[in-house]
Structure formats: C-alpha cells, structure tokens
C-alpha cells in the first residue's frame, strides 16, 4: 500500500505531452490520462494523449491514495507537460550523436527528434521527472 505522500505517484508511469497547450493543471496536482474513466478531479478535455479521460490529483486530496491505486489498476498515465524543445532535449540525453544534432537549429532539431520521444514514454514517473529536470538544468546552465 502506498503510504508516503511525497512518493505516492512513484509507482505510476508517465507520458510526455507537447500538444496539450491549453490544459490547466492546478498547482500541486498531477494530470492523469487514460483510455477509460479514472479517479480524481475530472477535466472536460477532448485532446487525445494516452486516452481521452483526464483527471487531476493532489497528494493532499482526501482519497488520493485510493485514487492513485485505482488509476494504476486502470492503466492510467501521469501526463508531464513539456515544450517541443524540451522533448527534443530529452531525446538527446545520453544520445551518442547529440553533438551532431545540436549543430542544427532548434526548429530543425525539434522536427527531427520529436518523433523519437516515443522511446521515452511510459517510464516510471520519478524517472521521467529526472529526465525533465536534467534538461531544465542544462538549459539554465546554457542561459
């Protein structure tokens, strides 16, 4: 049973999404998505990601533990909202030709690399967050 509120979502799998630009996720919540109805605060949103049903959950919600367990059983994914540029950089993490791809403009890199983000989908949530953190730290250093 999940018992630590800080690690409640660690058993969940995650998907990165660059196309959900107008969805609003309250601070402190995660966005769940599945192909069937799932538990949480329902969102009316039609855009397809991993499915067509969206909810948000906070570890502070009264029934968060139960909802997360049920969502795991329903094969829901946590959606991590990122930019196309971040997606391209996630693909390049540890890529043996990263230096060659970086010779292209960011626009060309995104066109070439965005389809490859599928290889980074469905990772455990903490692992997906670590990739995003690494990309954002790289961007901060470059700025």
pLDDT given at position 4: 62
Mean pLDDT taken over the chain: 91
**Which structure tokens are listed for 38?**
């799932």
Average pLDDT, stretch 5-24? 88
Main-chain dihedrals φ then ψ at residue 132, nearest 5 degrees: -65, -40
Q: Would you say 102 and 92 are in contact if contact means Cβ atoms under 8 Å apart?
A: yes
Query: Distance between CA atoms of 27 and 109, rounded to whole angstroms?
Result: 31
pLDDT given at position 108: 96
Provide the CA 83 distance to its chain's centre, in angstroms: 11
pLDDT given at position 48: 77
Q: Give 74-125 pLDDT, tens digit per residue.
A: 999 999 999 999 999 999 999 999 999 999 999 999 999 999 999 999 999 9
Q: What is the pTM of this model?
A: 0.89
- Beta strands at 53-57 and 13-17: parallel, antiparallel or unpaired: unpaired
pLDDT given at position 21: 85
């Amino acid at each position: 049973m999940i018992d630590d509120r800080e690690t409640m979502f660690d058993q969940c799998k995650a998907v990165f999404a660059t196309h959900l630009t107008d969805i609003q996720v309250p601070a402190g919540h995660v966005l769940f998505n599945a192909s069937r109805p799932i538990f949480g605060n329902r969102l009316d949103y039609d855009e397809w990601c991993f499915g067509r049903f969206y909810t948000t959950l906070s570890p502070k919600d009264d029934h968060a533990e139960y909802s997360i367990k049920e969502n795991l059983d329903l094969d829901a994914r946590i959606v991590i909202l990122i930019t196309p540029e971040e997606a391209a950089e996630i693909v390049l993490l540890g890529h043996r030709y990263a230096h060659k791809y970086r010779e292209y403009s960011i626009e060309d890199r995104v066109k070439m690399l965005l389809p490859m983000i599928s290889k980074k989908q469905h990772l455990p949530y903490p692992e997906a967050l670590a990739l995003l953190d690494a990309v954002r730290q790289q961007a901060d250093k470059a700025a």
